[in-house]
Each structure stands twice: as structure tokens, then as C-alpha cells.
Amino acid sequence: MSLGEDRWQRVNLALACFALDPAALGGIWLRARVGPVRDRVQKGLETSLQGLTLRRLHPGIGDDALFGGIDLAASLAQGKMVRTRGLLGGSAVLVMPMAERVKPGLAARLASALDTKSGLSLIALDEGAEPEETLPRALADRLAIHLDLADQCLSDAPELALDPADLAEAAKLLPHVTLPDGAIAELTEVAARLGIASLRAPLQALAVARASAALSGEDRVESADLTLAVELVLAPRATQIPASQDSPPEPQAPDPPPAPETQPDHAKDQDQIDLPPIEMLLEAAKAMLPPDLLARLQAGRASRRAPGATGTGAAKKGNRRGRPLASRPGRMGGDARVDLVATLRAAAPWQAMRRAASDQPDRLHIRMSDIRLRQFQETSDRAIIFVVDASGSAAMARLAEAKGAIELLLGEAYARRDHVALVAFRGDGSEVLLPPTRSLVQTKRRLAQLPGGGGTPLAAGLRAALELAIMAQAKGMTPSVALLTDGRANVDLAGIANRVQAGLDATAMARAIRARGWPAIVIDTGLRPTGGLDVLARDMGAPYLPLPRADARTLSAAVDASLTPA
Amino acid sequence: MKDFALSGPFPFSAIVGQEDMKLAMILTAIDPGIGGVLVFGDRGTGKSTAVRGLAALLPPITAVAGCPVNSAHEGDIPDWAQVTDRHVIEKPTPVIDLPLGATEDRVVGALDIEKALTRGEKAFEPGLLARANRGYLYIDEVNLLEDHLVDLLLDVAQSGQNVVEREGLSIRHAARFVLVGSGNPEEGELRPQLLDRFGLSVEVTSPRDIDTRIEVIRRRDAYDRDPIGFLTNWRGSDMDLRARIVAAKRALGQAEAGEPILRDCAELCVALGSDGLRGELTLLRAARALATFDGVTTVSRDHLRRVAPAALRHRLRRDPLDEAGSTTRVERVVTEVLG
């Protein structure tokens, strides 16, 4: 069986498990672009979920639609209150396309509904193209099954075999499924070894194991069920690759048995026949880890994606508060606030006519077209991107000053709404050490290990800064770039040591930054400021500031003063 | 005292570990005047379970049935409320969730648009703060909440009064609740001014120890499979805890803190360089609540030692170049001052 067919088999099982016990599993996070493969999955879901209510949500849904609210148009027309019923009322399976666009607010509401209301479950159809575009973690944590069908071929994906009659049969069996002793312990330990912090995951894995046992007509969870649970629930959440038994990863893992075949030292010997050894479950999980995750983990970048993942969902458009602007006509609902005075003013001229046309002369006549909404203008947050020369020619001390300046700026960031990012360049390329953040905790952790040494690939550093700045702007921030270097660019964009080409590339990148019109500053940290850098500063449209003996405090003051938009 | 209902949230006493968080919540239950609790930590560590469990464990409140702010007596009903059902009934301590992205209107209440438009009446539609009166207000991801909302919430939580002055309304009602906020510091931090307004703060992490984790899963699974049986098993422990909290509440008036204890409080706060006097006051109140919870009426140094990290951790001046966490700093100073 090919890899794709194998995976499809698991999709089939996953859907069947979910159909058996939607409430306990919480839901499915299906990551796949729109296409025939996803259509097949959806079709399978519809067959298997017969008898349950399916309701569709969209990521921009407002509270009125979720929890129920006033049907304003009908209320106004009838002169009495007409309420709509919320989507979250009653038990249902919610289907949400474009789930990668869910805002944190909606994610929090859905998550709490999934937690507190029984009978609700969610199928999140995530169509994200980039790794950053993903379901908010608060929500993903509540959905037991994570499926990634991004590279599933249609030829490996025949129609799903889900028979409602079989499912009904299994549903009857489900309440009687028992767990062997030690199954809970095994799943929990596997989860811990895979670096899964949340304790929801092992619980969801248990629910999957039970459903899988019921599906195969057993009233007891067998080792195949546990393996399936690990593959479907735990493997996709892994944040670390479990170390092999020779080198236990952390002291937290109770000393694993020396060989996987024989494990006499385990406390749960009586269940040897039923339970697969933990190592086997771990192997199953390892086989399921996507190859690119391995690469990511090795590059040590998984952690960046994990805690503060910046998907579309987490992006905040800097819409905190602001100056009131003139009201505009619009529809009520969602976060919109009605400007009552403006609404009444809009309705006033028509009252005489409307009264004459209506049979209720004594009341105020307001139509939907009169509704005016409040608007606020907000200023966006700043994102200061530090581009720091970490090459051999720049002394390690400068790097330390840059670190200090970043921490000082962040210390004041609460008041100023600053986000700070750090790009370091050295050797043959650049590295984003700190994506835009306001978190001091995260920053300290990242800055603790900033390496130094090697050539000066100035252009690569500027390019990374440019990319970061574009990303920050897309999130509603105003980026500014602060370059700290001693200016002897000697490695070009391709990573080759070539002084001439390196200089040309750096100039090109500087002009690209200037073209965007962002505030920037070039700080020369060389002991004897050379002529080259002020030319580069001019290319960037940035002030040039030689600061041979800058300490963290003067540096942060200089950056702050020159980057404040006029 | 009324007995438990046979279904309910996960029992508070069945929560494994997380002693700091549980203690902080119990202390605010004994003395709501301590102020809110801020819980910072990973997802899935039982923060919301603990809030709900604690509220279910507390004795039910008596309230006027139709009153939007859960008034205890008819006389307390705010004048703007049109209450039809004036029976006094018992209801469970309210726990209100404040969803991220809630608008100011939903939180503080606003002009009832529906009545204004359909009947031309000027009526007030109470918000979440009204419903949370005499109970708990739980905010998940408080660090992602808009700053002005957090400001407003803390203000109300401290004054016990919600004042609405807008859109031609001038309304006030009682809003005494314990604020419980939770969040993950890696996703954004709270302004120091806001941190300071929370009474206690605790840090929770997923248990690192495999056996603890297994126990958590085992209990949760047992609860999910058979909630009634599980609740029955744990009812004894929950009832004991309830009795202790009720007794402590009653004894709170008699709890004494001598001159040396006051001096210790002040010295601790000076040594830590915390701004304002809120640190001392909270420390004292928390220590007093802890003493009554322990069944004694005199506050001792040991009580101070146990509540100092929770009461002071979030009040330190931020030093960006100090690598040690605030908890370590508090503990160090506590050892220096109290010996």
C-alpha cells in the first residue's frame, strides 16, 4: 500500500471515529485546499453524520448569529421584538470553512462553547497556504483529530467507505468499551515524550481509542486502537522528536526499558499481551511526523511556530481604540456600535411621511437604512526591526549593546505600542532571531543565544528585514528599520564572498527599503567610521549616525528619537 | 445547607496539583476584597476547570429571581430594573465568561436598542458585569483583551460599582465579583499598571511528572465517563472544603495581625521596591484569609511567607536586564526579610 493510500485509510478511520462520538472528540482540524480530495472528505462526513445537524459558520460571524440576537429588520418592520436563534444553541456539528482566518476573539468563544456545551463539535476546514496561516491554537487544542491532506493525490483517495448502518452498530457498542489497565498511563507518557504540553491531547486520544475499538466490534481497547489514537491525535501535535531509548530525553521520562522487545521492569506486566510497548507507540508516532516537521525541528524553529504562532488568526489589526470619526450608514451586528443620535437624526426628516403611511401614528419609525454606525480611527503599532551585524568584524560587544537596546525598548513598549524584531546577519546569510513581538519573556529567551562571527552579508540582512517589514505591515503595524553595522559588506545575496557584488546587492536592498517609504536609521558601530555607510544611508533614505561607543541606553534613545514618525 | 446537585462541573478538590492556583482562588473566595486572581500559564492546565469547580463548591446565593444583578433583597434592586418576579430564590454562585473581543456595550451594558427603537423607551440593557455580581468573572486570554476594557473591569472590580454614563443614560448598579484572568505571557503581556490591580497572581505549568499527568487524565476520564459516580465520590472532599471556606469567612472578622506582622509586610514591599501601598494591603488581607483557612485567628510569619509570592510577584518593577524571574526574586527577598 502506498503512503497516500495508507494515509487515506486513516482519514477513513478518523471520520468514522468522529462520527461515532463527535462530542467527546471535539472535532476535526482538516488542513487541505479546496479541491476534489477535500470534497470527498466532506462527502464522507455528510454520509457518516446522518441524523446530526450540520451547521456552517464563517470566520467573520458575529455574536448575534452565534448566540442569537435581535433580528433588527424584522423587529423594526413588525414593531415588536423578533429574535434569531444562535448557531451554538442545541447540539450540532459546526462546519467552518476558511478556518485559518478565524480571529482570536471568535476562537476563544468557540473554544469555550466546545468546553462547556455538550453536544457541540467543530469541523475546521483550514485552507491556509503558508505555514503561518493556521487555525488559532486555542481552538486547535480542542479538536482531537488533526488531518493534513495538503499533498494527498486524488488517485490515492477513492470514495470513503462509511456505512451508516455499521456506525449505528458501533455506536451501540461504544458505551460498553473498556480500557485495559495502563492504557491511560501509556497514552499520557507517549504524549509527554512527544513534547505535548496540553493535557487535553491524551484525553482525546483515549476517546479515539474507544471509538476505534467500537468500530472494529470489540468491547475492549486493543493495541491497534491505541496505535491509531497515537497516529491521529498525538503525532500531529508533536513538538519534539522522541529520543530513542538509548538516550532518554529529559529526566521526566521514567527510565525507558533497555530493549523494546523485552520489558520486564514495567509495572503493568499483566497487560503485556494487550498493550503495545511505549516504544512501539512512539515509533508509530514518529512514522507519522511530516518530513518537513523533522527539518523544522532540526533547525530549531519549531518553537517559534509553536507558542505564539502568528497566523491570520492571531494577527491583530491594531484596532484598540481611537478618535471617533463621523458615523456611517451600515448594518448592525458583530462588533459594530450604533450611533443612536446620528440614527435618530437620519430618521427624523421622514417621520411625518412614515407616520402618514403607517397605521401606528404614535411611534417612532426607524428603517434599516437609518441605522448609523460609529467609527473610530486608530493609529497603528510600530514595529522596530533591528538589523544587527553579527559578523567577525563587528565586535561581540556591539551585539550585546543591541540586545540591551532591544530589551530597553521593549521594557517601555507597553506605553508606546512598540513591537520589536531582530535580524542578525553573519557568515553567508541572515537569520530572523526574533519575529515582531511585545513579549519580554520571549525576547529574553531568544536573545540569550545570539551567535557571532563570520563574513558580512549586509544585503541578506536587509532583505530579511524587508520581508519582516512587509509582513508586519500586512498585520497593520508601521515598520521601521534600524541597521547596526560597521559597513564592510563582503558577502553577496547568493552567499558568496565578493566585495563588489556584495556592495551592489546591499545598495539594491537599501533602495528597496527606501521605495517603501518606511522610517529607517543607519548606525555605524565601526571604531573609525568609514565613508561607505553614509552612502548606503542615503540610498535607504535614512539618517546616518556614527556611534562608535554606543551603550544600550544611548542606542535605544537614538533609535527611538530618529524613528518616531514626524 | 443545601446538598449538591447530582450533576455539575468537575469537582474542585479532584483537581490534581496546581496547589498555588487552588490556594489563591480559595483565598479570594474567603475574602473577595483581596481582588482578582491572575493565572498565567500553558493551555490545558485546568484554569477554567478550577474557577467553575470552585463556584460550584461555594454555597448557593439567595437572590431575587428576576433581578438582573442578583440582588439579595428586594431593597437592593436597582431602580432602573423592571423586575416582575420578586421571589427570593437560591441560585448557584454565578460564573460569567467574558469572551475575548466582547464590546464595551456587552460588558458594562448599554441602552437597550431594541426597546429604544421599537417602543421609544429609554431602558438599560445590563451587561456581563451585572450578571457577574456576587459571583466570578472569568476572562480567558486577559492579555489579549483590549487595554481599555481591562482598565474598566479592574476599576469596577475594585470599586464594586458599575457606573454607566453614556447615550443619555446615567445608571449605576452593584458589581461585586472576583475577577479571574488567565493568559499565556508569550502571546503578549499586560501593562504593569494593570498587573498591579490584580490581587494575587499565580503561574501554572503543565505538570512535568508523568505520574501526575497520568492521574490528571485518569480522573478527567472517569469524570467524563460517569459524572454522577465521580461527583458522588468527591462530594465528601468538596463538602469538607466548603465547610472550611464558610468557617473561614465567618472567622475573618476576628483574625488578628499584630504590629510585627504589619512591619514585616512593609519591609517585604520596601525590599522588593513595589510601587504604591497596594502590595502591603493585599499581602495582609491574603495572609489573614490564609490564617482563617488554617483555622487560627492570629496571622503568623509562616502565613506571610506562603502568600508573599502570589501577592507580590506581579508588582515588581520590571528590570529588563535581570534574568531571574520575578518568583525567584520574591522568594529571595522573603528569605532575607523573614529569615
d(CA B17, CA B207): 8
Q: Cell 560597521, residue?
A: A486
Q: Name the closest residue on chain A to residue B144, using Cα atoms.
A: A104
Among B43, B119, B131, B316, pick the best mutation site for testing chain A contact (most A Cβ within 10 A). Answer: B43
Query: Is the Cβ pair B43, A70 closer than 8 Å?
Result: no
Confidence of residue A380 (pLDDT cuts 50, 70, 90): low
d(CA A157, CA B166): 59
Give the CATH number of domain A1-63+90-162: 3.40.50.300
pLDDT the model gives residue B286: 92
d(CA A323, CA A376): 5
d(CA B15, CA B37): 18
Phi, psi of A104 (to 5 degrees): -55, -35
Q: Is B213 on the interface with A (CB under 8 A)?
A: yes
Per-residue pLDDT of chain B (339 residues; tens, 9 = 90+): 334 444 678 888 888 888 888 899 899 888 888 888 888 877 777 787 888 888 888 878 888 887 888 887 777 787 777 777 778 888 888 888 887 667 777 788 877 766 776 666 777 888 888 888 888 888 877 777 776 777 788 788 778 888 888 766 788 888 888 888 887 766 666 766 677 778 898 888 888 888 888 888 889 888 888 888 898 888 888 889 988 998 998 888 888 888 888 888 888 888 887 777 888 888 999 999 999 999 888 888 888 888 888 888 887 765 544 445 677 778 888 888 877
CA-wise closest residue to A482 among A412, A396, A564, A551: A564
d(CA A415, CA B193): 10
B263 near B301, Cβ under 8 Å? Answer: no
d(CA A324, CA A322): 6
Contacts with B, A 231-290, CB within 8 Å:
252-254
Q: Cell 437572590, residue?
A: B63
Confidence of residue A318 (pLDDT cuts 50, 70, 90): very low
H or E stretch covering A431: strand A429-437
pLDDT the model gives residue A531: 67
Average pLDDT over residues A463-480: 82
CA-wise closest residue to B182 among B150, B148, B134: B150
CA-wise closest residue to B324 among A317, A140, B316, A514: B316
CA-wise closest residue to A4 among A51, A37, A26: A37
A313 pLDDT higher than 70: no
* Distance (Å) from the alpha carbon of B49 to chain A's nearest alpha carbon: 10
Query: Is the Cβ pair B221, A106 closer than 8 Å?
Result: no
Query: Is the Cβ pair A200, B188 closer than 8 Å?
Result: no
Domains and CATH numbers, chain B: 12-204 (3.40.50.300), 255-338 (1.10.8.80)
Task: List the domain boundaries for chain A.
Answer: 1-63+90-162, 164-250+272-300, 336-377, 382-563
* Distance (Å) from the alpha carbon of A162 to chain B's nearest alpha carbon: 26
Q: Is B105 on the interface with A (CB under 8 A)?
A: yes
pLDDT the model gives residue A294: 54
Helices (DSSP H) in chain B: which residue ranges?
A: 19-30, 47-57, 104-108, 113-119, 128-131, 147-159, 192-197, 210-225, 227-251, 259-272, 278-293, 301-312, 326-338
Average pLDDT over residues A282-287: 73
Q: Name the closest residue on chain B to residue A175, using Cα atoms.
A: B225
Q: For residues A68 and B53, which has the higher predicted lDDT (pLDDT)? A: B53
Provide the β-strand partners of residue A147: A30
Give the CATH number of domain A164-250+272-300: 1.10.8.80
pLDDT the model gives residue A451: 67
- The pLDDT tens digits for A48-65 are 887 788 888 888 777 777
What is the separation, in whole angstroms, between the first and last Cα of chain B?
43
CA-wise closest residue to B125 among B113, B133, B134: B113
* Distance (Å) from the alpha carbon of A537 to chain B's nearest alpha carbon: 30
Average pLDDT over residues A61-70: 74
Confidence of residue A252 (pLDDT cuts 50, 70, 90): very low
* Distance (Å) from the alpha carbon of A129 to chain B's nearest alpha carbon: 23
The CATH class for the domain spanning A382-563 reads alpha beta
CA atoms lying within 13 Å on the CB side of residue A47 = 17
The C-alpha torsion from A141 through A146 and A148 to A149, rounded to 10°, is -140
A264 pLDDT higher than 80: no
A269 pLDDT higher than 70: no
As a three-state string, the secondary structure of A144-168 is CEEEECCCCCHHHCCCCCCCHHHHH
Q: In angstroms, what CA-CA distances link B237 with B214, B228, B232, B241, B254?
A: 21, 15, 10, 6, 26
Q: For residues A400 and A46, which has the higher predicted lDDT (pLDDT)? A: A46
pLDDT the model gives residue B291: 92
pLDDT the model gives residue B189: 64
In CATH terms, are A164-250+272-300 and A382-563 the same topology? Answer: no
pLDDT the model gives residue A81: 67
pLDDT the model gives residue B50: 86
Among A70, A174, A188, pick the best mutation site for testing chain B contact (most B Cβ within 10 A). Answer: A188
Neighboring chain A residues of B185 at a CB cutoff of 8 Å:
439, 441
A209 pLDDT higher than 60: yes
* Distance (Å) from the alpha carbon of A282 to chain B's nearest alpha carbon: 16
Residue A555 CA to its chain's centroid (Å): 33
Q: For residues A40 and A359, which has the higher predicted lDDT (pLDDT)? A: A40
ipTM: 0.71
Q: For residues A486 and B271, which has the higher predicted lDDT (pLDDT)? A: B271
CA-wise closest residue to A523 among A381, A383, A384, A430: A384
Neighboring chain B residues of A197 at a CB cutoff of 8 Å:
42-44, 206
Neighboring chain B residues of A414 at a CB cutoff of 8 Å:
189, 191-192
Q: Is B185 on the interface with A (CB under 8 A)?
A: yes
Q: Kindly give the pairing relationship between strand B169-174 and strand B135-139.
A: unpaired
A317 pLDDT higher than 50: no
Phi, psi of A150 (to 5 degrees): -60, -40
Percent of chain A's residues with pLDDT above 90: 0
- The pLDDT tens digits for A455-468 are 788 888 888 888 88
Q: Name the closest residue on chain A to residue B225, using Cα atoms.
A: A175
Provide the β-strand partners of residue A69: A84
A503 near A420, Cβ under 8 Å? Answer: no
CB neighbourhood size of A437 (10 A)? 23
d(CA A186, CA A194): 12
Grid cell at residue B338: 523573614
Contacts with A, B 138-157, CB within 8 Å:
140-141, 144, 146-148
User: What pTM was computed for the model?
Assistant: 0.65
Grid cell at residue B286: 491574603
